[in-house]
């Protein structure tokens, strides 16, 4: 992980105090509900919360924390302008990486990290009387891996997802851990190659019997990423394009900026990828593009 990201990572304990001020204008929350894997929640609440606001769940990279990710991203000015709330949870285990490997987290209501994150989101919807059609998830690196997992295990909670430099839901299934220090390198090295149908079957197995919609999915990856290697972009796109029944339509070069290629499936409203030429790990967060994808701009 880049030195700058390690510098941002702040050491947190598991306990937090409800409504206690925290760094970066965040508020620590402790009583958000069942917490099976000992996660920490801090959030950004704008000075004026909108009536029935949107909620964004923003997931940090390995070695990071919620406060670190709030500094790495720039969602707060948009939250101030529009009145939405951003949840910045933290994973205190396995080198501060999200568990994206165990059966517990890869199962709806399984008692893993995904379960705790879903409980945070449900708490926030209730607390802020949020619009349940405007709940979104995003993240970088390990947070992008968990974004894929959340879209698969709790699709009913999210309208859309956008994430950076991650891997498909279940790519690390069965690994002894989820961090660079503990994980089987097969996934991160880009060797876990499946058909789209195989990936889609894996997604559906994470929430057996679910018949509803899945969140619209947008994913970004650097072509020079040698940490979570570039083939993982294609595996995510295989997964979600089959889930949505969309086929590749076209590439748009230099979109949204020079050196980036937008990979469009169908009409571009359900599955989109971005390939960033010369960019390694991690792709910088494009907040405006995320918020446009979410329908907030």
Active site (catalytic) residues? 141
- Tell me the angle at which helices 231-244 and 142-153 cross, rounded to the nearest 10 degrees: 20
Residue with tokens 């790495």: 72
Strand order in the sheet with 216-222: 20-21, 27-29, 40-44, 85-90, 55-59, 135-140, 160-164, 216-222, 271-276, 260-265, 248-253
* Tokens representing residue 238 in the block: 């295989």
Rounded CA Rg of the chain: 17
Output DSSP code: residue 159: S
The rounded distance, in Å, linking the Cα atoms of 9 and 172 is 23
Phi, psi dihedrals of residue 113, rounded to the nearest 5°: -55, -40
The rounded distance, in Å, linking the Cα atoms of 297 and 295 is 6
The rounded distance, in Å, linking the Cα atoms of 246 and 251 is 15
The rounded distance, in Å, linking the Cα atoms of 177 and 74 is 30
* Tokens representing residue 236 in the block: 């995510």
């Amino acid at each position: 992980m880049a030195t700058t990201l390690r510098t941002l990572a702040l050491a947190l304990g598991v306990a937090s105090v409800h409504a206690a001020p925290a760094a970066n204008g965040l508020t620590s929350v402790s009583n958000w509900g069942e917490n099976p894997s000992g996660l920490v929640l801090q959030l950004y609440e704008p000075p004026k919360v909108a009536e029935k606001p949107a909620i964004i769940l923003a997931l940090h990279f390995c070695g990071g924390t919620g406060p670190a990710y709030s500094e790495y991203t720039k969602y707060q000015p948009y939250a101030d302008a529009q009145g939405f709330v951003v949840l910045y949870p933290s994973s205190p285990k396995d080198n501060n990486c999200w568990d994206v490997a165990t059966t517990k987290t890869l199962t709806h209501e399984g008692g893993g990290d995904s379960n705790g994150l879903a409980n945070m989101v449900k708490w926030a919807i209730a607390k802020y009387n949020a619009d349940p059609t405007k709940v979104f998830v995003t993240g970088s690196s390990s947070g992008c891996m968990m974004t894929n997992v959340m879209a698969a295990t709790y699709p009913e909670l999210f309208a859309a997802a956008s994430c950076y430099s991650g891997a498909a839901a279940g790519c690390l299934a069965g690994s002894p851990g989820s961090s660079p220090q503990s994980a089987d390198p097969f996934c991160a090295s880009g060797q876990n190659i499946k058909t789209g149908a195989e990936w889609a079957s894996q997604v559906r197995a994470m929430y057996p019997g679910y018949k509803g919609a899945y969140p619209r999915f947008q994913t970004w990856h650097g072509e020079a990423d040698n940490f979570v290697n570039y083939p993982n972009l294609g595996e995510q796109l295989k997964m979600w394009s089959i889930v949505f029944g969309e086929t590749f339509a076209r590439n748009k070069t230099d979109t949204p900026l020079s050196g980036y290629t937008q990979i469009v499936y169908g009409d571009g409203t359900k599955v989109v990828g971005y390939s960033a030429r010369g960019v390694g790990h991690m792709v910088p967060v494009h907040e405006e593009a995320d918020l446009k994808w979410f329908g907030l701009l």
